Structure 1
């Protein structure tokens, strides 16, 4: 097990087995795991390029949501107020997947905590029929060198250009994009229906109040 940086709560970790890697992130997935074969993942170090800021700057988080890729920073370290519960420390490594991996259904609070996730990720989208997939994850493992050493010893490819490594594995980008669009549409459909229900409830409540006043 390779523990990930955490301030409180259940321990987040990368778990290694003879044939697979399991990513345990209780803050996001509860008891569920992301699971992937050892030959389908590469680990690459991430180095800080800017000084730590006094407050979270979401644009500074190195999440990727472009060029057909979706790689979020799944932060595991929280802190106390006044930082809104988030410690803006940078990730130390990225795990890139040969093929997109479906996220387990996300917990309710993942819309904005521990860190904002790029669309179409979120509690509702992750519950779409085919779910939502990611192409990797930025993580914070301390110490970095030891985490990479243990990943390599466990059978994970370490270092190099992860984009080139990813391109060496065939993938159906059109199908991947269709799945992500479907997850995003599921989010908008469900959200729209919830808004409609709330509007109807408010209207019915207002009508009930008006009737009550008139009868009184």
Structure 2
């Protein structure tokens, strides 16, 4: 049941995700309230991140972590307590032989600021190995990063929303319409482009398959005109 959790958790660790929240708040939502809470939070932050990557490059980006599968986290940051909340991990990658670092930084900064976030630019390393990062904080994204690696011809964009009250396992079961099925990860789109739309419901029956069994994107990608509707109210 927790296979997708493990994949999400590994992806989160890979991007240095911080999944703690120290302030006290209302009781954790459950049932349909939890689903609607998670869907709203996902849609808000994913919409901002979509605008950021489209500002940088209005084309297809590879999906490393779709960003809607919940990851267990500790709301109060207490390492000796069981996870009491859920978080998300969102990562997109673009490969280009020639990168205009200044143009990427300018576009990303403008997109973050338009979303009401504060952005700063930090460069690590020097010479051919220099890595430039636009780090933005605030809003529903909480923390978004655009990393430009010219020596690898790569732009990586990631988002690390906070840890929200609610049971990640319960939410995951609703997202996948019951127990998480074995190949649920194959139902997440392999690319995000201009025609992107937020998706927070991936039942085994009716959800397209975007990856082969070896983890390679299917070509061509499915282009369904409609997706299954979640039965959790609105």
Shorter-chain TM-score bucket reads under 0.3
**TM-score under structure 1 length normalisation:** 0.26
**TM-score under structure 2 length normalisation:** 0.24
More helix by share: 1
